[in-house]
Amino acid sequence: MSYGQPGVGGFAPVAAPPRARSGAAALPGLAVIMIMDLLLELGMLIYDLSKGGASYLQAGLWGNFGHVKFDAPVYFAPSDAATVVALIALIIGAFSGAAWVRPAGTTVLLVTAWTDASSIIYQLTANSDSRNHFASPVSPNLWLNLDTIAQLLLALVFAIVVGATMKSGSPAPYTGGFTPPPSAPNFPPQQGAPGFPPPSQGGFPPPPAQPPAQQPWGYPRPEAGGGSPRPEAGGGYPGR
């Protein structure tokens, strides 16, 4: 059993304005970015399988490129297979609201982006033939290189979104408007204990109790049980 915060002065506590969650709302957007990157990885694998057949899985999973007979600027390698597995786990974690998705996804995508950037730089600086075929629409270089560039850009966008949402969210503006103070609660009248005055009800405080009336000075106090006061000896009656 749980108890809420007690009210002050008999009134119900006022709820605090809601605060913005830091990065929790961005996880579905990060999942969309990772889904796009996963589709680009699978597109590269589908192209390699269309050229090399099912036997290309030996190269894509184990790195055995000795039997590969077609040329391509980039190949689906074992590192890409590990990236696919990691992306699937990250996508599931993002839709589940896991907090580790942001740092883990940034690490995976930035490592992939470094590999893609190295491949692009090598093609542009190796020799004139590689530069001429970098964007050739005749060979598959154009589409595969566009796939690589798209993965690089998605990794940068992912890192930027994570960096922006990792900061603590500022308090959200309170839109509840002005709330008038609550009125005093109404309680049923209560009966006092025998011999004691009834407890005070809501509203104005009861008047102070009046002290008992004092007898005139020199007048004897009545005895318990009533009757006339008994004169004291020598109190004004003549002796016999």
99 lies in a domain? Answer: yes
Domain count, the chain: 1
Q: What is the mean pLDDT of the chain?
A: 76
Rounded average pLDDT over 75-79: 90
59 lies in a domain? Answer: yes
234 lies in a domain? Answer: no
User: Domain of 131?
Assistant: 24-165
108 lies in a domain? Answer: yes
116 lies in a domain? Answer: yes
For 154-187, how does the pLDDT look when each residue is reduced to its tens digit (9 = 90+)?
999 999 999 998 765 545 555 555 565 666 556 5
5 lies in a domain? Answer: no
What does pTM read for this prediction? Answer: 0.60
Q: What is the CA radius of gyration of the chain?
A: 44
Rounded average pLDDT over 22-41: 88
Q: Give the integer Cα–Cα distance in Å for 8 and 60.
A: 68
**44-48, 104-108, 135-139, range with the lowest pLDDT:** 135-139
Q: Give the integer Cα–Cα distance in Å for 66 and 117.
A: 25
226 lies in a domain? Answer: no
Rounded average pLDDT over 75-88: 93
The token pair at 129 is 């033939």
144 lies in a domain? Answer: yes
**4-8, 77-81, 198-202, range with the lowest pLDDT:** 4-8
